[in-house]
Every structure is written in C-alpha cells, then in structure tokens.
Amino acid sequence: MRPLGWWPLFLGVALAAPVLQLRGEVRGPLVLATPGLLVEGEGAVLRGDRGHTLSLLAPGIRVRGLTVVGAGPEDDFFEPDAAIYLGGCRGCLLEGIRVEGAPTAVRMEDSPMAAVRGLKAQGLGASPGVLVYSSPNALVEGSHLRGFMEGIYVEYSPGMRIRDNLLEGNGRYGFHVMFSWEVDIEGNVSTKNGIGNAVMHGAQNRIRINRLEGHKSPVAYGLLLQDERGTVAEGNLFLENTLGLVLMDAAEARVQGNRFQENGTALRIARERGGNSAQVKGNRFLGNLYDLLVDDPEARVQVVANGYDRASGLPVPHLPTSSFALLLARQPELSLFALSPGIVLWEAAEAQVPGLRLVALADAQAAPLPKAVAFQGPWIFLGVLGGVLWWWRRRT
C-alpha cells in the first residue's frame, strides 16, 4: 500500500485554520495576532478613530471583504495612523477591502510576501494610500487609490510587485519607489497626480506596460528615474505630460518600446551629479513639443530604431533633438520662441544635417510616423515655468 505522505497533515491544518466572522458594525481598534487566521468581513464595517483601526501582527492572516472607516489623526508621511496595519505579517493577504476617512489605507512593515488585492480607498491628502517598508516580495494589485499624498509609497522592499492599479488625483505621486531593486511595476494607470511617478535610488527595476498620463503642472512628469542603475522602462504609454520620462543620474537605463504622445518634452536626460547612460530603442514619438532634450553634456546615450512623426524618411540619420533644445535646457525662458517659424525651420534643417556636437544623438535607423497634431501655447507656458523652477532648484 502506497504511503499517504505529508499531504493529509497539511490538509488537516488548512481545514482547522481559525475563522473570525465579522458582522454588522464593529468598533476598533482591533488587534489580531493568531497565525493563519481568516477574517471574513463581507458586509461588515469596522470603525475607528485612534491609532490603527485594524492591526495584523502574525503570519498568514487573511482579511476579505471588510470596510474600514476612520483611523487615528496622525498623518505623518512615514508613520501615519492606518486603517489596516501589517507588522511582522509574513504572507498576509488583504482582499476586497474598502477604506474611507483614514490618513493611510494600508501600512505594511516587515511583512515579506504580504499582498493587497482589490483595495479601494479615498485619502485625506497628507499620507500615502499604501505605505510599504522593509517588506520584500510584497504585492499591491488591482487597487484604486485616490486623494492621498502618494498612491503607493515603497522603501527597502526588493522584489516588490505593483500591478494593475488605478492611481489618480493624488497630491504628489501615483507610485513612488525608493531604495529598492528588482521591483516590477506593470499594467498600472497613473493619471492626473500632482507631480507624476518616481523610482529612485535603486537598481534593476522594471516599469512595463503602464499608462502614465495627464501630469501637467510646471514640474510634472510621467516618470522620473533618478539615481537608478540597470532599470528598464518598456512598453509604457506616456501621454499628455509636461515631461514624459526624465532620467536623472540614471546609469545603464533601457528605454524601449514606449509610446511618447502629446507631451511637452517626451524624454529629458538631466544631471544632478552626472553618470547618465541609456539605450533608447524602438520607441514611438508622436505629437510632442520636443522628443528629446539632453541637459547633461557627459551623458552616454544610444538612440536607435525609434519612430518619429518628424522623421522625413530620407536615407539620412534623424536628429530627435536640436541645438535650440540644448540651449533651452540652459535658458528656459527661450521656450517662448519654440514654435516660431524661424526656430521650426532651424530644427527641421538641423534634423536632416546633424551638427557635430549633436551627431551622437542622431538615430540612423529612424522610422517615419504619420504626423500628429502640433502643440500650441499651453506647453510653451508650462515649459517656461518648469524650466525656470528646475534652474532655480539647481542654483539653490
């Protein structure tokens, strides 16, 4: 007779997992520290007005279908009161949770492999919607976060996954990842946040197939990669941002297969300390005021096989920037003349006959794309304001 092995024991443990059924309205704060506990909250409302309304402090706890209303008043960005707090909650799961009236919806610390799925939360404007700290391989997926200072804020969490979320109308960033590596940011829609989205001070991060749109303040961008190494931006749509993608001190970056459409400047490479290097390959540039602006004379940029609505189709390299664009990086007030007939003719001619200084940025395999609608005054105004603020920040 074949031995049954260990699976009956595992099945028995699973069947014996404790269950807490919440019903009606429950008053918090509620602290749960039973490993493997399943909390069924469908139809229940947990209310609180001090500290964290629900704290999960043991591995493997699962909470499903609960509505949490309120939390304490502390809205410090890094240590806010949260509707749900996960501390040491390895492998915990929040699924189908709704949060209202709390500074932060979910605060996660030291909780590897914890997951948040299907969270819906409206913020109070001062703290992150989901704050993840020191939680490797955590997941935030399929959630809708709006009205927070930042939709999702992550620190020191390698292998984090941020997938298929809607991040809109947050005061600063949709997603903001710091000091982390091998983070996957995929399939998100981030729209009309105060500044945009940022991935900073990390390595080997992957930002793929996201829609980053409508970030239109003078200093806004679809995505900032700052002090990153080996990070990839691939297959994203950058639509109607003041700046589409900004690389600042980003080494060995790969920008490939993205669509840059109707931005002020599609791709800007800037320096604070220096060290930019990037491959820009297989992207499409449509209807941007400027496709490429390089404000780093030491940057090493390979531009190859991109599509441009400004490319002529002639068998000569296409120049996706211009000497005027380089001048603009130093003197942003000249944005007022960007669409003047003289500058348009200058840039059109220079694109076909690259100057010696710019020849390294020419795309020898450029593909022409159908013309998109040209931009008018609003991008000029935002360009002037943004450039002045950028210059002032660096001077101070």
pLDDT score, position 2: 44
In this structure, what token pair is assigned to residue 271? 């320096």
Task: Compute the distance between CA of residue 226 and CA of residue 246 in angstroms, rounded to an integer.
Answer: 8
| pLDDT tens column, 315-332 | 677 777 655 555 455 545
Domain that holds residue 306: 71-395
Structure-token pair, residue 98: 């709704």
Spatial contact of 127 and 152, defined as CB atoms under 8 Å apart: no
How much is the mean pLDDT over the chain? Answer: 86
Residue 61 in domain:
no
Of 281 and 355, more confident: 281
pLDDT at 77 over 90: yes
In a domain, 203, yes or no: yes
Structure-token pair, residue 170: 């947050």
pLDDT of 287 above 60? yes
Tokens standing for residue 177 = 């990842």
**144-200 per-position pLDDT tens digit:** 999 999 999 999 999 999 999 999 999 999 999 999 999 999 999 999 999 999 999
3-class secondary structure, 100: strand
b/e code 238-266 from CB counts within 10 Å (16+ = b): bbbbbbbbbbbbbbbbbbbbbbbbbbbbb
Report H helices in the chain: 7-15, 323-330, 341-352, 377-395
Give the pLDDT confidence of 191-249 residue by residue, as tens digits: 999 999 999 999 999 999 999 999 998 889 999 999 999 999 999 999 999 999 999 99
The answer to whether residue 8 is domain-embedded is no
pLDDT reported for residue 331: 46
Q: Indicate the pLDDT class of residue 1, thresholds 50, 70 and 90.
A: very low
Q: What is the CATH number of the domain that holds 302?
A: 2.160.20
- Do the domain assignments include residue 22? no
301 lies in some domain? yes
Pick from 166, 57, 55, 141: nearest CA to 104: 55
What is the C-alpha to C-alpha distance for residues 234 and 237, in angstroms, rounded to an integer?
A: 9
Residue with token string 């001190």: 249
Write out the two tokens for 215: 């970030």
> Could you tell me if residue 254 is inside a domain?
yes
Q: What are the backbone dihedrals phi and psi of residue 332, each rounded to the nearest 5 degrees, phi first?
A: -65, -20
Tokens of residue 75, six digits? 């809205």
Q: Is residue 136 part of a domain?
A: yes
pLDDT band at 389 (very low <50, low <70, confident <90, very high): low
337-348 residue pLDDT tens? 455 555 455 555
Q: 178 - beta bridge partners?
A: 155, 200
Read off the pTM.
0.85
- Does any domain span residue 295? yes
Domains of the chain: total: 1
